[in-house]
Amino acid sequence: MKRDLEEAISVSGFVDQKPGTSGLRKKTVIFQQPHYVECFVQSTFDSLDGSGGLTLVVGGDGRFYNDVMVQKILGVAAGNGVKKVIVGQNGILSTPAVSALIRELKADGGFILTASHNPGGPSNDCGIKYNVSNGGPAPEYLTDRIYSNTLKIIKYFRVANSEVDLSKIGTVVKNGMEVQVIDSTAVYRDLMESIFDMKLISALIARADFRFVYDAMHGVAGPYAKSIFRELLGVPMECLLNCDPLDDFGGGHPDPNLTYAHELVEVMGLNSKGEALSGKESVPDFGAAADGDADRNMVLGKSFFVTPSDSLALIAANAHCIPYFRDAGGLKTIARSMPTSGAADIVAKKLNIPMYQVPTGWKFFGNLMDSSIMGKDEKNPLICGEESFGTGSSHIREKDGIWAVLAWLSILADRNKDPNLKLVSVQNIVEEHWKEYGRNYYCRYDYEEVQSDLANEVMQGLTKYIGEFTDPVLLAPGYTLSECDEFEYHDPIDESVSSHQGWRFIMSDGSRFVFRLSGTGSVGATIRLYIEKFEAKDIKMTTAAALETLVSLALDLSNLQNITGRNEPTVIT
């Protein structure tokens, strides 16, 4: 069903609209080309089984050009007969909030306007992603279909003059399409209140010996932090850093890691390697940061860095501290992306519950959560995570930065119920965990903006090595390479196959290094190298010392430094 007032605009399409790990991400100037956004949106509608009568959610992280993109989407949605669009006030919605809204309002899908952790502004990045009716990112068969339609498109439909004032909450009907502007935080906040024991957390926040600092990095997490941490839990305003969203993230790189979240990292008494700064006084007890679209989280204790892989394992091991899991009879499943450390696997084993390993990118978790093997209960109690500062659960179908922080606050609150006892710190809790389960030393090296042909040369070398590998090889004393392959995922639910998901080199003691090419960058190629080693008893080493040999083996075997001319990674996490 198309609208009467629609125009059909003839276009020749674009050849570069292939969605990556998490939607389409490009330089802003690319998105600003005439018809660019419209072509992608039309191609998405053309990929659905009919767009007439749909209800969609639209919102973004507030980066530069989001406002224009929202209005373009409204125009094309009206042209394609969409029944209703629900938009966050001023176009603002975090990625987890879009997922929550699609589910809560039983919408058919939604567009999320973000390039996540990539910087924003006229000379940086924009992005657009389509999520489906379960609230999760479009599965691969759909993104493949969208891409193929972007190559074939010859016209798109839009209704001109369909701009809506997004600053006012309320509903307008324009050109036959209903546009409802909603409070950006209310539904998400209600969901968090239904999951966590806010009273217990408030008691922790109120303790005189506990201080929590949150850094929204000028991304979209700010309004949610104010609504939940400040208004519900009583966190003082001065403890909420950079909580006003800015369209260029204040010129920063809204990626919550030790390098880019340097302001918080320093406040928490750490350097960019995660080592404690000496002589630092009055360091807060708990710190956390989010990325641009608020689906990532970094968790820090007093002068103490928690790796995302450990964070996943710890939240899973302590799921009983969270009413959502307790009420559903306990955690039923854990899942992680392949490059994420095996720390969570050990927890799953101990809890005697299934553990799934999926390719990088959140879309793969959704199938597990929705499937009947997980039980039909709406509250499928599953926890999942990625090494890239992403943690979440079956409460929505995206990773969730604020949820992860509330999960940690729940664990801390549970351990610190008696205000007369000395505070049990983040470090105490993590070290206790390592004592019980052993420690997976872990780090990731990112080589950003490598020339694409050089990055491909590195990967081809690895492919050749894997192809010729037959018998175990002693690479260095104590390190025998026993297995190597390209990770291929067979989805246990829909039986789809995803190949080339990472080049794995596994030693006989289970330690490993993995190479992957990023699917979210906008310039050249980013090579990621993931390194992991498990120690059952020796839990007090520095990560650098524990992984030194494996790092040099990975660099030698890949010849990465010679081929790319890079002696140091851009970022170590």
295 binds ligand VG1 (CB under 6 A): yes
Minimum CB distance to ligand VG1, residue 11 (Å)? 28
Task: Map 25-86 to HEC letters.
Answer: EEEHHHHCCCCHHHHHHHHHHHHCCCCCCCEEEEEECCCCCHHHHHHHHHHHHHHCCCCEEE
Q: Using CB under 6 A as the criterion, what x/- string covers residues 313-352 for binding ligand VG1?
A: ------------------------x---------------
- Does residue 21 interact with ligand VG1 by CB under 6 A? yes
- Chain-centroid distance of CA 373 in Å reads 25
Residue with tokens 């204040």: 250
Pair type for strands 109-113 and 55-60: parallel
Distance CA(570)–CA(506), nearest Å, equals 25
**Stretch of 289-297, 377-385, 406-414, 422-430 contacting Co ion, by CB under 5 A:** 289-297
**Residue 341: closest CA among 459, 427, 439:** 439
- Tell me how far CA of residue 339 lies from CA of 272, 388, 487, 504, in angstroms: 22, 9, 10, 9
By CB under 5 A, residue 400 contacts Co ion: no
Tell me the per-residue interface mask from 67 to 106 with ligand VG1, x by CB under 6 A, - otherwise.
----------------------------------------
- Least Cβ distance, residue 254 to Co ion (angstroms): 8
Taking the complex as a whole, the smallest distance from the CB of residue 22 to ligand VG1 amounts, in Å, to 4
Q: Is 501 in the site for ligand VG1 (CB under 6 A)?
A: no
Q: Does 360 bind Co ion (CB under 5 A)?
A: no
What residues between 509 and 568 interact with ligand VG1 by CB under 6 A? 518-520, 528
Q: Which of 291, 310, 345, 491 binds ligand VG1 (CB under 6 A)?
A: 291
Q: Which stretch binds ligand VG1 (CB under 6 A): 67-75, 190-198, 385-393, 409-417?
A: 385-393
Count residues near Co ion (CB under 5 A): 5
Whole-number Å distance between alpha carbons of 441 and 202: 33
291 binds Co ion (CB under 5 A): yes
Q: How far is CA 186 from the centre of its chain?
A: 22
Q: Give the shortest CB-274-to-Co ion separation in angstroms.
A: 21
* Cα within 13 Å of Cα(207), Cβ side: 25
Among 117, 226, 433, 533, binds ligand VG1 (CB under 6 A): 117
Residue position matching structure tokens 């081809």: 460
For the record, the structure tokens of 458 come out as 């590195």
Residue 94: active-site member: no
Using a 10 angstrom Cβ sphere, with 0-12 exposed, 13-18 middle and 19 or more buried, the burial of residue 67 is middle
131 interface partner picked from Co ion, ligand VG1, none, CB below 5 to 8 A per type: none
Beta bridge partners of 112: 59, 129
Give the type of residue at 373: I
Nearest CA-CA partner of 93 in 238, 369, 274, 292? 292
Of 215, 285, 295, 446, which lies in the binding site for Co ion, with binding defined by CB under 5 A?
295
Regarding 61 and contact with Co ion (CB under 5 A), the answer is: no
Do the bridges between strand 212-215 and strand 240-241 make them parallel or antiparallel, or are there none, so unpaired?
parallel
Site for Co ion in 209-248 (CB under 5 A): none
How remote is the C-alpha of 435 from its chain's centroid? 29
What distance in Å separates the CA atoms of residue 9 and residue 14, rounded to the nearest whole number? 15
Options 17, 22, 185, 393; binder of ligand VG1; rule CB under 6 A: 22
Cβ neighbours of residue 347 under 8 Å, at least 6 residues apart?
313, 316, 317, 334, 437
| Binding partner of residue 139 among Co ion, ligand VG1, none, CB cut-off 5 to 8 Å per kind | none
Output 253 or 528, the one with its CB closest to ligand VG1.
528
Closest to ligand VG1 by CB, 55 or 360: 360
In the chain, the N- to C-terminal Cα span, in Å, equals: 49
Residue 264, SS3? helix
Q: Work out what residue 528 binds among ligand VG1, Co ion, none; the CB cut-off runs from 5 to 8 Å by kind.
A: ligand VG1
Of 37-45, 176-184, 269-277, 386-394, which part binds ligand VG1 (CB under 6 A)?
Answer: 386-394
Applying CB under 5 A, which of residues 116, 309, 333, 543 lies at the interface with Co ion? 116
Q: In what order do the strands lie in the sheet with 212-215?
A: 240-241, 212-215, 286-290, 297-301, 304-306
Whichever of 291 and 310 has its CB closer to ligand VG1, that residue is 291
Residue of 99, 116, 303, 425 with catalytic role: 116
Six-digit token pair at 331? 């955690």
Q: Which of 43, 51, 66, 116 binds ligand VG1 (CB under 6 A)?
A: 116
| Residue owning tokens 């669009």 | 85
Site for ligand VG1 contains 242 (CB under 6 A) = no
* Residue (229 or 365) nearer to ligand VG1, CB: 365
Binding flag, residue 386, Co ion (CB under 5 A): no
**Within 10 Å of residue 134's Cβ, how many Cβ atoms?**
17
Q: Which residues bind ligand VG1 (CB under 6 A)?
A: 21-22, 116-117, 291, 295-296, 337, 360-362, 386, 388, 390, 518-520, 528
Binding site for Co ion (CB under 5 A): 116, 291, 293, 295-296
Which are the catalytic amino acids? 116
